[in-house]
Amino acid sequence: MIVAKMRWWKEALFILGFYLAYAQVRNQLGSDGLFAATTDTAAKNAERVIAFEKRLGLFFEQDLQQWFLDWGWFFWFWNVFYGSLHFVVTIVVGLFLYHLFPLRFIRYRTGLAITTALGLIGFATFPLMPPRLLSSPPPYGGAMDKFSFVDTLSVHGGLWSFDSGTLQAISNQWAAMPSLHLAWAAWCTIAIAPVLKSFSARAAMWLYPVATLFGIIVTANHYWIDGLGGLVALALGMWFAHRIADRQMLDMNNTTTDGGI
């Protein structure tokens, strides 16, 4: 019954409307919005994250990036990966599920929406300056010369750049915790890998979030702990989605049973 009520254009409008609303709220919470945090707050939160990682003995992001700094083509690839696959793979997975596994699509679409909404809570309560901005000047950077992260998108390029005045005005450059890049990538894997028949296709999907984690770190867009935050958001989002879907199925079964009496 639920599947019978699905219309592709309704789903498309819902997803587009949800994402536009999410983007609007995200951008108003961050680096250049109506409810923008201060540069000092974002920088101090970054120092807190780094201090925590150091206590764990796991502050390795700067060293990891340094190993590859002479490879301009390498960073161009990961900048393109970061800026494109986040959307492309997610859309392809969604279309695949919609056409071939509609019930699964409903459950996982809901989970992705909740996960994305949970990300807003992190952006609002913990504005976080990403590694690439630590040594950059204000208003977006922390001007902290003790760090040597490189903004690879600015230096090596990609499909777009935060140096654009338009992008600076419409983006939230401190929306780092949680990493929705990793959350969405992991969502793609758990949504589609179990229903793929090809071993190579399943392997590729399991490698995708691993590659995403590497990409968000080596480009200095995130700390590794942002990725962990993204996975926590995904776990919560899918938990809620499963509860909602199970409740809908129970209500539908009860309605069917009552109708048969």
pLDDT in tens, 184-235: 999 999 999 999 999 999 999 999 999 999 999 999 999 999 999 999 999 9
| Residue 29 confidence class, pLDDT cut points 50, 70, 90 | confident
- Amino acid 235: pLDDT: 99
Residue ranges per domain, the chain? 28-246
Per-residue pLDDT band at 1 (split at 50, 70, 90): very low
pLDDT greater than 50 at residue 239: yes
| Distance in angstroms (rounded) separating the CA atoms of residues 84 and 76 | 12
Total number of residues shown for the chain: 261
Peptide bond before 102: cis, by omega within 30 degrees of 0?
no
Q: Residue 237: what pLDDT?
A: 98
Kind and range of the H or E element at 165? helix 165-170
Whether 158 shows a pLDDT value over 90: the answer reads no
> Which band of pLDDT confidence, cut at 50, 70 and 90, is reported for residue 163?
low
pTM equals 0.90
For range 108-112, the mean pLDDT: 97
Using 50, 70 and 90 to split pLDDT, how confident is the model at 23?
A: confident
Task: Give percent of the chain with pLDDT exceeding 90.
Answer: 71
The residue type of 88 is V
Q: Which residue did the predictor score with more confidence, 96 or 3?
A: 96
State the average pLDDT over residues 23-40. 75
For residue 50, what pLDDT band results from cuts at 50, 70 and 90?
Answer: very high
Average model confidence (pLDDT) across the chain: 89
The answer to whether residue 20 scores a pLDDT higher than 50 is: yes
Distances in Å between the alpha carbon of 228 and those of 26, 172, 182, 213? 20, 20, 8, 10
Model confidence at 260, pLDDT cuts 50, 70, 90, reads very low
Rounded to the nearest 5 degrees, what angle is found at the Cα of 65, between the Cα atoms of 51 and 53? 15
Mean pLDDT over 1-14 rounds to: 72
Q: Is the pLDDT assigned to residue 261 strictly greater than 70?
A: no
Read off the pLDDT of residues 71-91 as tens digits, 9 standing for 90 and up: 999 999 999 999 999 999 999
Task: Please state, in angstroms and rounded to a whole number, the distance separating the CA atoms of residues 257 and 102.
Answer: 23
